[in-house]
Structure 1
Amino acid sequence: MPGAIPVPRPGAVADDGPKVMVLTGASRGIGHATVRLFAENGWRIITCSRQPFDRARCPWEEGPDDHVQVDLNDLRALNLAIVDIKARLAGRPLHALINNAGISPKAPDGSRLSSLTTPVATWTEVFNVNFLAPVLLARGLFDELKAGRGTVVNVTSIVGSRVHPFAGTAYATSKAALACLTREMAHDFAPHGIRVNAIAPGEIKTDILSPETEERLAPLIPMRRVGSPMEVASVLQFLCSDAASYVTGEEIHINGGQTL
């Protein structure tokens, strides 16, 4: 009947609150900037990281109530975290999942771990966090994403398509695999109204970028500078907005022209 008010299904919760996002790797860098930007725009953000919530670093009001502490390398803990997130959503839809968490281990002396020197245990840990966790989170929160006609954004990297002087082999190959996974997920999730994309940052000024790295690489970038976390967060905001409603299966490079 035209003009009729939709009646929620039995047991359903009306989607009448703020948009909701789940964000991994929220405690610093790109994740930290993303929480700030989305919170300023009225989103509710459920953050996930290995670290407990830090009021001094993360001054947003709802932070302590919407933080899930989880080690994504521990698949049992990840499953429990998904149950926790579902409980926090309390039947409400999920509008965005940003898989930002990633680890890039180094050798004991701080040097790059190559395909010749990476321990087997390190390969497993890196792929658990950087590759398996994103798809397991998306699968675990599928019903909530479907209800919100939500979007998934996987954070890959420039190193997924080229050898990097500092990023290790396990990290690089996990990000290349995540880019491929993004395409597969986009194909599988699209019929359910869920978009899946990726962003591939280049050199971004975060805590893990040393002054030596910035000094060495900035002159090689056409824009002659490294990027800021907020520049990355702004692209994430676009991909999670209605402006990107027909964008899926894409990997957007954010690197100041470094791959030209």
Structure 2
Amino acid sequence: MTSPTDRKTLVLTGASRGIGHATVKRFSAEGWRVITCSRHAFSDKCPWPSGPEDHIQVDLSDPENLGVAVAEIQKRLVDGGSRLHALVNNAGTSPKEPDGSRMNSLSTPMHAWRTVFQVNFFAPILLARGLFKELSAAKGAVVNVTSIAGIRVHPFAGTAYATSKAALASLTREMAADFGPHGIRVNAISPGEIDTAILSPGTEDMIGDIALRRLGLPQEVAETIFFLCSSQSSYVTGAEVHVNGGQHV
């Protein structure tokens, strides 16, 4: 029987839907403890065990909340006798115009830029820095979730979202260089059009631009995240893996 100290632990932001849900299920199926962070309260509809005890409700758009989140994660690790083997920065925000269209570089208000970069860019590095000792002790892994929108103008994702994800890809390389000497691997995954409940209308029209001619599934993204957090990728760091069915080519 696995003891609490032997059981691996993941901290995951943005766990309330889509890729986050699939990631929790994938790691839970392998026996990992998953500490989830989301701006939403835990719901009894969530399909994984130990949710209420291992869920932290936190709004990452507020810089003041990051220190509180780190302290609470550290407390739960100590209380559970766990080490931190992986941090997955999946939380993201992409504001739209009132009619649902993308916010471009001319129309995006400054407050939206600040909120998007706070959630999509600053939160990942501040969480990783705050949990550095815990990750280092377990020779853990960090996975940042970027986006295909970070490498091309996207019909639905706005300018602030796209540039924040491009910045996160660059940050991943910097983190890999800085965290690597301490035994921490840092990689990114870049999803394309994934079939979730929050797809923008018209996404199906983009299938012709995807080499595999279909939308991706959340569990396919979760599989790649799990690979990058497992010993199977023990010599992989500083990479950005495109999970988009060949859309980027």
Checking the alignment, whether the CA contact within 8 Å between 2:5 and 2:82 is kept in structure 1 is no
- Counterpart selection for 1:239 from 220, 224, 228: 228
Tell me the SS of whatever aligns to 2:216.
Answer: coil
- Counterpart selection for 2:88 from 78, 98, 104: 98
Q: Which residue of 2 aligns with 1:84?
A: 72
Checking the alignment, whether the CA contact within 8 Å between 1:92 and 1:144 is kept in structure 2 is no
Kindly report which structure 2 residues correspond to 1:164-183, keeping only aligned pairs within 5 A, or say none. 164-183=154-173
Deviation at residue 165 of structure 1 after TM alignment: 0.7
One-letter identity of the residue aligned with 1:83: A
Checking the alignment, whether the CA contact within 8 Å between 2:7 and 2:82 is kept in structure 1 is no
Q: Which residue of 1 aligns with 2:192?
A: 202
Kindly report which structure 2 residues correspond to 1:61-210, keeping only aligned pairs within 5 A, or say none. 61-90=49-78, 92-210=82-200
Tell me the SS of whatever aligns to 1:63.
Answer: coil
Checking the alignment, whether the CA contact within 8 Å between 2:41 and 2:57 is kept in structure 1 is yes
- 1:47 paired to 2:41: no
Q: Which residue of 1 aligns with 2:21?
A: 32
User: CA–CA distance in 2 between the matches of 1:231 and 1:242?
Assistant: 19
1:153-179 CA distance string (max 9 Å, x none): 000000100000110000000000000
Deviation at residue 61 of structure 1 after TM alignment: 1.9
Deviation at residue 111 of structure 1 after TM alignment: 1.0
One-letter identity of the residue aligned with 2:26: L
Checking the alignment, whether the CA contact within 8 Å between 2:25 and 2:47 is kept in structure 1 is no
User: CA–CA distance in 2 between the matches of 1:151 and 1:213?
Assistant: 36
Q: TM-score, normalised by structure 1?
A: 0.92
1:205-256 CA distance string (max 9 Å, x none): 112213x323211122111101000000000111011010000000000111
User: CA–CA distance in 1 between the matches of 2:235 and 2:211?
Assistant: 30
Number of paired residues?
A: 245
Deviation at residue 15 of structure 1 after TM alignment: 7.5
User: CA–CA distance in 2 between the matches of 1:115 and 1:20?
Assistant: 39
Q: Which residue of 1 aligns with 2:204?
A: 215
- Counterpart selection for 1:224 from 207, 213, 217: 213
One-letter identity of the residue aligned with 1:95: H
Deviation at residue 109 of structure 1 after TM alignment: 1.3
Identical counterparts, % of pairs: 64
Tell me the SS of whatever aligns to 1:76.
Answer: helix
User: CA–CA distance in 2 between the matches of 1:54 and 1:219?
Assistant: 37
Checking the alignment, whether the CA contact within 8 Å between 1:18 and 1:42 is kept in structure 2 is yes
User: CA–CA distance in 1 between the matches of 2:50 and 2:43?
Assistant: 12
Tell me the SS of whatever aligns to 1:65.
Answer: coil
- 1:251 paired to 2:240: yes
Q: Which residue of 1 aligns with 2:47?
A: 59
User: CA–CA distance in 1 between the matches of 2:40 and 2:248?
Assistant: 33
- Counterpart selection for 1:21 from 10, 18, 28: 10
Checking the alignment, whether the CA contact within 8 Å between 2:10 and 2:88 is kept in structure 1 is yes
Bigger Cα Rg: 1
Which blocks of at least 5 consecutive residues in structure 2 are unaligned? none
Which blocks of at least 5 consecutive residues in structure 1 are unaligned? 1-13
User: CA–CA distance in 2 between the matches of 1:24 and 1:146?
Assistant: 19
Tell me the SS of whatever aligns to 1:170.
Answer: helix
One-letter identity of the residue aligned with 2:214: R
Q: TM-score, normalised by structure 2?
A: 0.96
One-letter identity of the residue aligned with 1:233: A
